[in-house]
Chains A and B, each alone.
Chain A
Amino acid sequence: MSYQWDILGEEALQFFGKMSASISHEIKNVLAVVNENAGLIQDYISMHERGIPIDPEQLKSVSQMITKQVRRADTIMRNMSKFAHSTDQLVKMESLDDILDVVTNLANRFATMREITLEKMPSEGPVKIKANPFFLENLIWLCLEFAMDAVGPEKTVRLLAKEIDNSAQITFSQLGNLVVMPLETFPGKRVEALLSAIQGDITVDTQAGTISISLPV
């Protein structure tokens, strides 16, 4: 298998950098909330030192808030770990659902900023694929980025992984504005290089408002 390393290398680095920056931003948001709550405890202590009794319910509320933020950070870091480890092997047998989960979780912040909801639908059964997980994640991200530009008035991009006729398929749907998108720029050389690397294919159905990626299982 020959890879177009010049295109893939540049794209992969941009993708990895963009996702890493986004994760660091999310973690900073968590730290900001924890920092404020640590300060709030300090405020309660200062009040106590001035003779104002501490209400246990207030402390309980702060404790719950910190626990909530720790869980949030843990989810972010777990996803980051999965994402980072997707570069471990060039080819690996993986669950397509798991890969789609990683990208959806990474993309959620970008979607939220654009007031778009990503709705990952549960697949009917396990879909296993043998591919380069990182390239596949990169491909899903590029398609998702385009899908967000093409989203319809519902402002929800629906994602589904399924197996059809011995091939795995990822579908992005509810893309009501696909009919007015400049399709001369999509898939483009980066998507095509990634498709070539993982031996995939792409179908854009402007009337149905869907983009589908087909992959060998």
Chain B
Amino acid sequence: MTNAQSTPSQIKLLVVDDEVDFLNTLSQRLESRDFQCTTASNGNQAIQEAKTGGFDVAILDLKMPGMDGQELLKILKEKHKFLEIIMLTGYPSVESAVECTKLGAFGYLEKPYDLEKLLGVLKDAYETRLKKKFPHDQKRMKELETLASGEPMAALRAMMRLDDLEK
């Protein structure tokens, strides 16, 4: 049970899959449920999108040409530590599930899946992100308030600049 109240309209998603027909249909269905979706069909495109997208959760296909989902997971987690990541795969294995978990994946789902299951994992992932990010933001705000000599707006502006850097 969590106090974090999440509604889909707040959740910004990055969906990455080389199977474009799957990608488009999934994002269409998620958007109809008020998620904000950005799609990418390969790892490099996903990395570029993530730089400016300010995403809450990413859904990554595990097997993709060139940079695979596991490599992308590692890069995204390094650059965006509060981004929660859900792996999707048509080729599940205990080994890859363990490896993805070690690399920081929040969830690991087998394709084809029930959308309700994905929605449940998405909400859990978003709430986990809020729980991790909120104390971090609080602590940073205090530090910045001290730095800004008690001027909350100055601290907030500084924090927003740091946020941009962190994305």
Contact = CB atoms under 8 A, between A and B. Distances in A.
A39 B90 contact: no
A68 B63 contact: no
B63 A36 contact: no
Nearest to A28: B90
B90 A25 contact: yes
Please indicate which of the listed interface residues A32, A33, A68 has the most CB atoms of chain B within 10 Å of its own CB: A32
Contacts of A68: 21
Q: Is the interface of A mostly helix, strand, loop or mixed?
A: helix
Q: Is the interface of B mostly helix, strand, loop or mixed?
A: loop
Nearest to A42: B115
B22 A36 contact: yes
Contacts of A181: none
A26 to B, nearest CB: 9
A203 interface: no
A40 B29 contact: yes
A68 B22 CA distance: 12
Nearest to A37: B25
A31 B112 contact: yes
Interface in B97-146: 111-113, 115
Contacts of A114: 65
Interface residues of A, number: 21
A201 B4 CA distance: 68
A33 B111 CA distance: 9
Interface string A105-116: 000000011110
Contact of A36 (B26, B32, B66, B91): B26
Given A36-B22, A36-B29, A40-B29, A28 B115 contact: no
B28 interface: yes
A40 B25 contact: yes
A181 to B, nearest CB: 22
A69 interface: yes
Please indicate which of the listed interface residues A35, A43, A65 has the most CB atoms of chain B within 10 Å of its own CB: A35
A29 interface: yes
A177 to B, nearest CB: 18
A64 to B, nearest CB: 10
A58 to B, nearest CB: 10
Interface in A96-148: 112-115
Interface of A: 25, 28-29, 31-37, 39-40, 43, 47, 65, 68-69, 112-115
Interface of B: 19, 21-22, 25-26, 28-29, 32, 63-66, 68, 90-91, 111-113, 115
Given A28-B91, A29-B90, A113-B68, 7 more contacts: A25-B91, A32-B19, A32-B90, A33-B19, A33-B25, A37-B25, A43-B32
15 contacts: A28-B90, A28-B91, A28-B112, A29-B19, A29-B90, A33-B22, A35-B111, A35-B113, A39-B115, A40-B28, A40-B29, A43-B29, A65-B21, A112-B65, A113-B65
